[in-house]
Structure 1
Amino acid sequence: MPTEFTVRGSHSAFQPPERGTAQVTLAFQGPALQPVYDRVAGDLQAVQASVQELHDPANGPVTWWATQHVRTWAERPWNQDGRQLPLVHHASVGVQVKFRDFARLTTWVGRLVDAAEGFRLDGVVWSLTEAHRLELERTVRTRAVQDAVRRAQEYADALGLGPVRPVAVADAGMLGPGISPMGGGGGGSYLRMAAKDAGGSVELELSPEDIEVTAEVDARFVVV
């Protein structure tokens, strides 16, 4: 019976992000519904106007954006003595804006933080373009298979056997029972907001980490 080798190959590549999608919420609250709704709707119009003047799908700085519908609700909060307080009305709406120019993203967010009281930046999602991501995934998968071949051949060489040939290749964890899947890591990022001066204006520092693309394969080989 031929000697069989089952190995896991992996490879990772890191690329700076090419797009940053700002996740924004506009929210306001008060004792009456209409003023709260009008405030959020007015802030939304201002945000939409600021995005439209930057929107150019081909060249940016904004390549895509979307808004949700304004959401309203009400609640009766309780104070620390267990007494129910008057009704409080809320209104909020989410906005997503994708930038290819990160300097303009920083400027846009900083301007709206100062201009819109209800503006909140929930985070920034960093990404590659679709074409570049697919190209990078193909490269990483190829390198992962090559890594599996190298590992199998090293085992065979250590045993004094000949060249190996593949008999099965699969995504990690799918080759057979008893082989546990291993998850790949993801690129992280963070956005820090720090007070610039006592006047309350805000300075944004965008510090995206490189995006990690990882592939893992399981492969089975036998000696030729």
Structure 2
Amino acid sequence: MGPVSTEITVQGHFTAWIPAERATVSIVVGFDGPERSSVLSSVTAAVQTVTSSIAPLHDPQDGPVTWWSSDRIRVWAQRPWNTEGKQLAPVHHASIAVSVKFKDFDALAEWLTEAATVPGVQVSGIEWALTQARRTSVTTEVRSRAVKGAADKARVFAQAIGASDVRAVAISDPGMLGVRSTADTTSPATMRAAASTGSGGGDRVLDFTPEDIEVSVSVDARFEAS
């Protein structure tokens, strides 16, 4: 009779934190008022000011702006009610969303500081990300380390029961070996931008301090130890 083997099923996990390489800022230009034509005119003028400031910065390869877009104008009206329950005259609304992707974060801060002073502009948020090439290479490395982590864990388990020979028989994404586990995740880029102003009477400049981007992978693995 040959040596008795023991089945070991483990999960490997690895996380890397990578500095962001791109930042996409989203803004909305919007106005409201009693006259539809006036509202439309105000939005059109403000968007023209914003897009005119983007154009000189746009270069798909060198940046600082690598891409930008604007949505179609949205126009709607509503009739509000006063505190006495009376419906008032219509209020007209118009807005346009604009997204701008930067590779230079200093340029982003400078541009957004100026854009925020344009009447009607509101900052919706900033999404931080890696380039696709960088994300692919990092994910490959993280997956490899997750597998190595699973193998190291299996060897520790085997040593604890006196087994010295450990052989991998299956490696998969989480949940595919018939065991319940957390899902394989390569997390979307999530960053926090902190806006602050300098002291004194100088020009206001927004200071964005991005956190690193988390890239995380889990794998399930099955081994035989004897």
TM over 0.5: yes
Q: Which residue of 2 aligns with 1:212?
A: 214
- CA distance change for structure 1 residues 118 and 66 in 2, over 3 Å: closer, same or farther? same
Distance 2:81 2:109 in 1: 38
Cα offset for 1:192? Answer: 3.5
Q: Which residue of 2 aligns with 1:140?
A: 142
Quick check: 1:71 aligned with 2:71? Answer: no
Structure showing the higher strand proportion among its residues: 1
Quick check: 1:33 aligned with 2:36? Answer: yes
Query: Retained in 2: the 8 A contact 1:174–1:181?
Result: no
Q: Deviations over 1:149-201 (max 9, x none)?
A: 0001110011001221111111122221x4132465666422344566899x7
Choose the corresponding residue for 1:51, options 26, 49, 54: 54
SS at match of 2:93: strand
Distance 2:197 2:35 in 1: 32
TM-score, normalised to structure 2, is 0.90
The two structures, once aligned, show a CA RMSD in angstroms of 2.1
Distance 1:88 1:188 in 2: 37
Quick check: 1:91 aligned with 2:117? Answer: no
Give the aligned length: 221
SS at match of 1:53: helix
Instruction: Could you tell me which runs of 5 or more consecutive residues in structure 1 were left unpaired when the two chains were aligned.
Output: none
Superposed, 1:92-111 pairs within 5 Å as 92-111=95-114
Q: Which residue of 1 aligns with 2:85?
A: 82
Q: Which residue of 1 aligns with 2:156?
A: 154
Query: Retained in 2: the 8 A contact 1:9–1:144?
Result: yes
Query: Retained in 1: the 8 A contact 2:127–2:190?
Result: no
- CA distance change for structure 1 residues 198 and 90 in 2, over 3 Å: closer, same or farther? farther
Query: Retained in 1: the 8 A contact 2:127–2:189?
Result: no
| More displaced stretch, 128-137 vs 166-175 | 166-175
Q: Which residue of 1 aligns with 2:130?
A: 128
Q: Which residue of 2 aligns with 1:6?
A: 9
